[in-house]
Amino acid sequence: MNNPRLLAAALLALALGACGRSPPPPQDAPLAGARIGGAFALTDQDGKPFSSEALKGHYAVVYFGYTFCPDVCPTDMLNLGKGLKAFEAQDPARAAKVLPVFITVDPARDTPAVLKAFVGAFHPRMIGLTGTGQQIAAVAKNYATSFKKQDPAPGATGYLMEHMSTAILFGPKGEPIALVPVEADAGQVTQTLSSWVR
C-alpha cells in the first residue's frame, strides 16, 4: 500500500476493530451484596477446632447436608468432587484455591469420624464440619439454609433430615459469589468454578 493516507486509515480501522474485540469487563457476581455467610467456629473431620478464618484467602464451596442422606447429598458431593477434579486438570493453580466444605445438619450422628469417611470419598481436600445442634443452627441461618428432622417412618429405626441442597461459592474475603450447580452435573460445576475463581 503506497498511499500513506490509505495506510493510516487501514491501521486506524484495525485498531478500532481490535478495541471492539477486547474481552468484556467482568460482570457482577450473581450473589454480590447478598447477606449470606459469616464467621463460625465448628469441629472438623479430624476432631479439631475449625474456624471460618481458615477459609480466608480461598474460594470456599459451602454445602449443608448429612452423611446418612440416602441419595441427594452423595450425588451432589460426587458432582462437586468430580467437577473440582476436572477444574484441577484444566487449571491447577486456580483450582488449588478452592476448598469444598460440607457442613452437617445432623450433628447427632455425624461425628468427626463419620464425616471423615464421607468427605474422603469425594475429594481429598473436602472439609467436613460438625458441632453442637445450636452451633449448626446458627451457621445454617447465617448461610441462608434450613433443615428439619423428620419423624421416623413407622417401624423404621432411623430418621431423615429435610434440608436445602444448595452449594454456594464464596470468595477469598468470605463474600458470596454464585450458586454452584452440584445438582446438575460435574461439567457445570467445573464451568462455574472456571468462571469465578481468579
Give the CA dihedral 140, 112, 118, 194, nearest 10 degrees. 50
pTM: 0.85
Return d(Cα 163, Cα 167) in angstroms, integer.
12
Q: Which CATH superfamily is domain 41-196 in?
A: Glutaredoxin (3.40.30.10)
The string of pLDDT tens digits covering residues 91-143 is 999 999 999 999 999 999 999 999 999 999 999 999 999 999 999 999 999 99
pLDDT at 154: 84
Return d(Cα 67, Cα 105) in angstroms, integer.
9
The string of pLDDT tens digits covering residues 139-164 is 999 999 999 999 888 877 789 999 99
Q: Are strands 161-163 and 147-149 parallel, antiparallel or unpaired?
A: antiparallel
